[in-house]
Amino acid sequence: MAKNQHLTHKGRVDIDRDILLSIINLATKEINGVESLTNQYLPWYKKVFKPKSEGVSIKFDANSTLKVDVYIKVYVGCSVPDIAYKVQENIKNSLNSMVGLKPGKINVHVYGVVCDKAEAGVDA
């Protein structure tokens, strides 16, 4: 007779920093009203050495809680508080569903407002 075995071993999963950055990057770009992520907050020398960080900064504190900072540009006419809230929720849900990680803080920094090319009359 076979017995049901319940595994109670707790393992450890390591997730590469670039994977987290990619998930956050994609979750941010999914929101309508977000034009792009920006790294304007970085000094020029860090832009050269950190090209993958494109508008996302992540840090783990002493309690292993993830802190996320996202730097974005939004389209003119969009509600900035609504977009920021949607970005926060989408990042939280994406990290939780894809890697089982619940971030502590998600800060959204708006670094610019961009006119839509079609509305501004600029040829693409």
pLDDT tens digits, 22-45: 999 999 999 999 998 887 766 666
Fold of 17-117: Alpha-Beta Plaits (3.30.70)
Do the beta carbons of residue 68 and residue 103 sit within 8 Å?
yes
Average confidence (pLDDT) over 113-122: 62
Do the beta carbons of residue 86 and residue 31 sit within 8 Å?
yes
Q: What is the pTM of this model?
A: 0.77
pLDDT bracket for residue 109 (50, 70, 90): very high
pLDDT of residue 122: 43
With a cut of 70, say whether residue 83 has pLDDT above it. Answer: yes
Closest listed residue to residue 37, CA positions, set 20, 17, 57: 57
Q: Which two tokens stand for residue 35?
A: 């034009």
pLDDT of residue 91: 96
Do the beta carbons of residue 84 and residue 122 sit within 8 Å?
no
pLDDT of residue 28: 94
Q: Where are the domains of the chain?
A: 17-117
For the chain, give the secondary structure using H, E and C. CCCCCCCCCCCCCCCCHHHHHHHHHHHHHCCCCEEEECCCCCCHHHHHHCHHHCCEEEEECCCCCEEEEEEEEEECCCCHHHHHHHHHHHHHHHHHHHHCCCCCEEEEEEEEEECCHHHHCCCC
